[in-house]
Structure 1
Amino acid sequence: MSQCWMLLEFFLSAKSRRNSCWIRNFLIVLNSIQKGNPMLEASPLLVVRVKQKIDLTEKEEKIFDRLLATVRYYDLSTQLRVAGGWVRDKLLGKECYDIDIALDDMFGSTFVDKVTQYLASTGEEAQGLAVIPSNPDQSKHLETARMRLYDIWIDFVNLRSEKYSENSRIPNQMDFGTAEEDAYRRDLTINSMFYNINTSSVEDLIGRGIDDLRSGKIVTPLAPKETFLDDPLRVLRAVRFGARFSFTLDEELKRAAASNDVKDALAAKISRERIGTEVDLMVSGNEPVKAIAYICELQLFWVVFSLPHEHELTLPQECDRLCLTYMDAAWSLLQLIGSLSLTDEQRRLSLYAALFFPFRTITYEDNKGKKIPIVNYVFRNSLKRKASNAETVIGVHSAVARLLSLIPFLESNVDGELNEDGMGSELVDIPASSKLRVLTGFLLREVKDFWRVALLISVLAYPSPIGCSEDAMLKHNELDKRKEVFQAVENAILKLGLEKIWEVKPLVTGKDIMNILQLKCGGPSVKEWQQKLLAWQLANPAGTADECLEWMRQTHLKRIKME
């Protein structure tokens, strides 16, 4: 019985409260304890509600009617099948606007041409026509044609069957296949079903797609190693869908995903853009921590978040586990704080900032001998994300140390011996009572809209760069304390009127400064005074431009007399 109470306490913790299925999880593990196996991972009690038939929206009916009208107009025998995720989501009762249509007797571009001509005959105009070529070297084996109908993008591809040479995983022969052959080439059984538009029926041609969906299993139609070597990106898709739906990864699938052959293929065959896109979908999804936990469990962390191999890097011990722990703590804290404080983009980058926090100080030298943060490499080379993402996260990491020194004063709203490192002479003539606002204002002007992200990461690291033990960060009472610190500091910043301080323009221009200093051109002196005047402006939020200039004149005269 004591085990049951301990278990209940655990599932009521903040770590488990973020999972909407915590009651089900509690019952599953309780059942396993009663059977003498507390580490049981299977979910015998999990039954997913799957609809008996697919209900079309009004817009979907119009789209499918137009496509069937094209078939009739040209007297085609073509069978139109919606494939993959749309079928899965509709069976789960979810709306989906990602419609991929598989054709049994022609290429997608050919059919799109016929749809375009048919629409023209009715006085309608096709929109957004495009053809995306195949790229076998990157495991993209099919040409895809795309068009927009009723403001929904639709992709068209042909059904396929593939043959491989003994020593290659790139198809050396690809023909039109049957719907069943195509279904077995899909990534997962839950994504292998079709909706036949011609017959208005669901087709589960491998015979277990619906069953696996109903029992919450992530399984490949063919042997998992064969499936993953065909397209190694499917490993990450299995992870993403397993996390998204809280489904169980098949044990054979996990062994195949962790094999060296599959890891090597993922690193060699798949473009970094495609890997980055999958990771972004995980981080932006409903279970980002579970997804990264799967990546760690399958020993894929350093394949996905690859580092420059030509440089010797000293990483923290068990760095991948530490990265996951910080991300887990950040996600838990985000759930406690609520969705109003951060936008979706801020939430996404806060999770990245937490994930990469353990190697925030690690750098490598580029070809020119310049030290580059590893975080920059991971974003721009490993994941091929936007440079601005790397700059934001690096900026957040840089702000953490300074913000940590300010938190005690912002939290308690008292003055004290503030850490003025890196401020130069800007604070020399600033009253002690104003220094907290000035230091905080300078910091927020650097991180701008992402100051709450910097605060979130700082709160995780508070009261030291390591903070309490990593495991302790996930405890309910510890997270509640950190939530209180976050909210106290956030409120203090708002009370100081600094929420959008980076949008406040300087009262004094560079030209004004040059006139007072009697300079003909700018230089270090002008830059120094710009910082001092900004400090004055932060210390005197109600001050005017004339008052600011007068303060500068008086301060400048005092300096001259002292020299």
Structure 2
Amino acid sequence: MSSCLAGFRLTHKLARTLTIKRTHTDPGHSSKRQMTKMAKIVLTETETEICTLLNRVADHIRATTNEQLTLRIAGGWVRDKLLGLASHDIDIAVDHMSGFTLAQHVTSYMQLHSIATSSVGKINSNPSRSKHLETATTKVLGQFVDFVHLRSETYEEDSRIPQIEFGTPEEDARRRDITINALFYNLRTREVEDFTGRGLKDLEEGVVRTPMDAEQTFKDDPLRVLRVLRFASRFGYEIEKETARAMEREVVRSELERKISRERVGVEVEKMAEGERPVLAIQLILKFGLYECVFRAPSRETWADDVDVDAMAAESVTRCTLKMLDEASLHALIPSQYSVTLHDRRILILASYVYPFHAAVATDRKRNASVALLVVRDGLKLPTNDADSIAAVHMLVPRITAMAALCCAGPVERNTLGHLIRDAGARWIVATVFAAAVQLHKGVSTDQVVATFSAFIRAVKEAELEDAFKLKHIVNGRDVATLLGCRTGPGIKPVLDRIMDWQLAHPRGTHDECREFIIEEIAPHMPL
């Protein structure tokens, strides 16, 4: 593993000390099994009741149909419980039966015993969205539980959409993305089962690796490349060297580009941005040469200018954005009455990720558009509102930076400040935080950045302009048209702009005073 990645590693401690015991079946058996057992997971009261109820359902099925089932909780819930993290994402994996059929048995059993039930929802497989397996979901004791059958997968050469069949626990574990996501919790024995033989050890040591040959795993489903990056950054784990080598191969990168829909790429990037270590996520994307593939821009032929795109700036700006979002920096910059929400944080991180495109403009539907907007909207398929917000934040950076410098130098006219806040809208605080981060990225000291931008925010507050974007015209368009003897419509906008400028300069101005301004200052200059 490179020294670059080694510096990123931050290993969680397991919730309890592992007591490891390995048992082997006959080595000549075609489905050779290796199970690792450890100290039992500590269940909550609700989890205990759910497990007990599901075991009773399995007993009832055996008694009435002679079908013997083993029920297991699969994947992320097991991993998170071992890390001492709360998890409400319970996926029940069943052998010899479809998840939908099992869910129907569960609801029937609960009805039989007068336990509150809900309808069973069937989520059909949708391979184009990486939903390869039919899933059933229903409420069990007030908590949503998903039901799926154990599966095996085979892939065609030119597709990442697998052929799905019923499988064994070993086959199901091997087809998963990484070993720490391939653990099971057996509801009957109340033991953790590690059919890859590596999941528990990797979890304890903080390692991300694929259960099978990494290159073949990624060629089968290249989305797993991004999932490796996401989980490595989420937990601060080290990517195992063979897994890392496979990710660096050009054939894997080209398969990621060719096979994976932009929607699925966007889902993974969004989760990275919302995670605890978004800087590590973008560092890994850059390290493995995936920036252009992940953040796909429109063809250079559509760009207005040949703008240099410095992908490495994404890491620096993300780091600086997080520094500005640090509690101490944020408190120094923004008064307590303002807040930066989780949604704001997400927009700021995504804006940082696509900052290398901030100066680029391309033709889109016969109009000029920010390349950053197009990357977010089309390259990641994130909501248009997100793309618009990110493009607006980028656009506001130079304006807010210049205004902050003016505020540091001395008083600024109220209407000048007000027009900027109106143009920025409700996102003016978020844009200010981002503008501060960009200045940090450019080498300005933290103290100077905080002093400059806090002066801007203070000026806005003292002028009572925080909500200037909500301000309505004190004299509306119809009244203006009557006063000036003209028609309403787009042609009256310049007059309304002058009225708003007057309002911003005269915060205590009345309706009558504004009418007088219109009659004396605007009407004489209107064309006859």
TM bin, normalised by shorter chain, reads: 0.7 to 0.9
**Residue in structure 1 matched with residue 117 of structure 2 by the alignment:** 126
Q: Within 2, Cα distance between the matches of 1:147 and 1:500?
A: 45
**Residue in structure 1 matched with residue 248 of structure 2 by the alignment:** 258
Q: Choose the corresponding residue for 1:546, options 512, 518, 525.
A: 512
1:453 aligns with 2:430: yes
In 1, are the aligned partners of 2:302 and 2:363 still within 8 Å (CA)? no
- After TM superposition, list the pairs within 5 Å mapping 1:459-498 onto structure 2: 459-462=436-439, 470=442, 472=443, 478-498=445-465
**Residue in structure 1 matched with residue 14 of structure 2 by the alignment:** 49
- After TM superposition, list the pairs within 5 Å mapping 1:383-532 onto structure 2: 383-415=380-412, 436-462=413-439, 470=442, 472=443, 478-519=445-486, 521-532=487-498
1:382 aligns with 2:367: no
In 2, are the aligned partners of 1:87 and 1:193 still within 8 Å (CA)? yes
Indicate how the Cα distance of structure 1 residues 287 and 65 shifts in structure 2: closer, same or farther if over 3 A, else same.
same
In 2, are the aligned partners of 1:138 and 1:270 still within 8 Å (CA)? no
Indicate how the Cα distance of structure 1 residues 342 and 128 shifts in structure 2: closer, same or farther if over 3 A, else same.
farther
Q: Please give the secondary structure, in 2, of the residue aligned with 1:320.
A: coil
Indicate how the Cα distance of structure 1 residues 461 and 38 shifts in structure 2: closer, same or farther if over 3 A, else same.
closer
Q: Please give the secondary structure, in 2, of the residue aligned with 1:531.
A: helix
In the alignment, structure 1 segments of 5+ residues that lack a partner are 1-36, 416-435, 463-467
CA deviation after TM superposition for structure 1 residue 557, in Å: 4.6
Q: Within 1, Cα distance between the matches of 2:324 and 2:256?
A: 33
**Residue in structure 2 matched with residue 337 of structure 1 by the alignment:** 329
**Residue in structure 2 matched with residue 213 of structure 1 by the alignment:** 203
CA deviation after TM superposition for structure 1 residue 175, in Å: 2.3
Q: Choose the corresponding residue for 1:81, options 72, 77, 96.
A: 72
In 2, are the aligned partners of 1:159 and 1:176 still within 8 Å (CA)? yes
**Residue in structure 1 matched with residue 220 of structure 2 by the alignment:** 230
Q: Please give the secondary structure, in 2, of the residue aligned with 1:154.
A: strand
Q: Within 2, Cα distance between the matches of 1:168 and 1:389?
A: 31
Q: Please give the secondary structure, in 2, of the residue aligned with 1:199.
A: coil
Q: Within 1, Cα distance between the matches of 2:4 and 2:138?
A: 49
**Residue in structure 2 matched with residue 350 of structure 1 by the alignment:** 348
Q: Choose the corresponding residue for 1:311, options 272, 282, 301.
A: 301
Q: Please give the secondary structure, in 2, of the residue aligned with 1:329.
A: helix
CA deviation after TM superposition for structure 1 residue 265, in Å: 2.1
**Residue in structure 2 matched with residue 428 of structure 1 by the alignment:** none
1:64 aligns with 2:51: yes
Q: Please give the secondary structure, in 1, of the residue aligned with 2:299.
A: coil
1:114 aligns with 2:105: yes
Please give the per-residue CA displacement for 1:469-511, whole angstroms capped at 9, x wherever unaligned. 74x36xxxx2233233232322221121111222232211111
Please give the per-residue CA displacement for 1:191-213, whole angstroms capped at 9, x wherever unaligned. 11111112211111222211111
**Residue in structure 1 matched with residue 359 of structure 2 by the alignment:** 361
Q: Within 1, Cα distance between the matches of 2:350 and 2:459?
A: 26
Q: Within 2, Cα distance between the matches of 1:43 and 1:536?
A: 55
**Residue in structure 2 matched with residue 199 of structure 1 by the alignment:** 189
1:102 aligns with 2:69: no
In 1, are the aligned partners of 2:10 and 2:206 still within 8 Å (CA)? no
Q: Within 1, Cα distance between the matches of 2:291 and 2:415?
A: 41
Aligned length: 494
Deviating more after overlay: 79-88 vs 551-560: 551-560
Indicate how the Cα distance of structure 1 residues 483 and 223 shifts in structure 2: closer, same or farther if over 3 A, else same.
farther
Please give the per-residue CA displacement for 1:80-130, whole angstroms capped at 9, x wherever unaligned. 111111111100111011111111111111111212222232334533632
Which consecutive aligned stretches of 4+ in structure 1 deviate over 6 angstroms post-superposition? 37-40, 42-45
Please give the per-residue CA displacement for 1:346-371, whole angstroms capped at 9, x wherever unaligned. 111112223323322312223x5322
In 2, are the aligned partners of 1:138 and 1:269 still within 8 Å (CA)? no
In 1, are the aligned partners of 2:320 and 2:438 still within 8 Å (CA)? no
In 1, are the aligned partners of 2:182 and 2:199 still within 8 Å (CA)? yes
Q: Within 1, Cα distance between the matches of 2:475 and 2:51?
A: 63
In 1, are the aligned partners of 2:307 and 2:360 still within 8 Å (CA)? no
Q: Within 2, Cα distance between the matches of 1:260 and 1:315?
A: 26
CA deviation after TM superposition for structure 1 residue 138, in Å: 5.2
Deviating more after overlay: 401-410 vs 534-543: 401-410
Deviating more after overlay: 296-305 vs 503-512: 503-512
User: Residue type of the partner of 2:294?
Assistant: V
Q: Within 1, Cα distance between the matches of 2:120 and 2:416?
A: 54
Q: Please give the secondary structure, in 1, of the residue aligned with 2:418.
A: helix
**Residue in structure 1 matched with residue 233 of structure 2 by the alignment:** 243
| TM-score using structure 2 length | 0.86
- After TM superposition, list the pairs within 5 Å mapping 1:179-198 onto structure 2: 179-198=169-188
CA deviation after TM superposition for structure 1 residue 61, in Å: 2.1
Indicate how the Cα distance of structure 1 residues 44 and 338 shifts in structure 2: closer, same or farther if over 3 A, else same.
closer
In 2, are the aligned partners of 1:258 and 1:300 still within 8 Å (CA)? no
User: Residue type of the partner of 1:175?
Assistant: E
Q: Within 1, Cα distance between the matches of 2:209 and 2:107?
A: 38
Q: Within 2, Cα distance between the matches of 1:45 and 1:456?
A: 28
Q: Please give the secondary structure, in 1, of the residue aligned with 2:139.
A: strand
- After TM superposition, list the pairs within 5 Å mapping 1:164-183 onto structure 2: 164=155, 170-172=161-163, 174-183=164-173
In 2, are the aligned partners of 1:86 and 1:99 still within 8 Å (CA)? yes
In 1, are the aligned partners of 2:317 and 2:438 still within 8 Å (CA)? no
Q: Please give the secondary structure, in 1, of the residue aligned with 2:488.
A: coil
Q: Report sequence identity in percent.
A: 36
Q: Please give the secondary structure, in 2, of the residue aligned with 1:213.
A: helix
Q: Choose the corresponding residue for 2:501, options 513, 535, 538.
A: 535
Indicate how the Cα distance of structure 1 residues 151 and 298 shifts in structure 2: closer, same or farther if over 3 A, else same.
farther
In 2, are the aligned partners of 1:323 and 1:355 still within 8 Å (CA)? yes
Q: Please give the secondary structure, in 1, of the residue aligned with 2:192.
A: strand
Please give the per-residue CA displacement for 1:236-256, whole angstroms capped at 9, x wherever unaligned. 111111111111111221221
Q: Choose the corresponding residue for 1:555, options 517, 521, 526.
A: 521
**Residue in structure 2 matched with residue 291 of structure 1 by the alignment:** 281
CA deviation after TM superposition for structure 1 residue 145, in Å: 1.5
Q: Within 2, Cα distance between the matches of 1:128 and 1:548?
A: 62
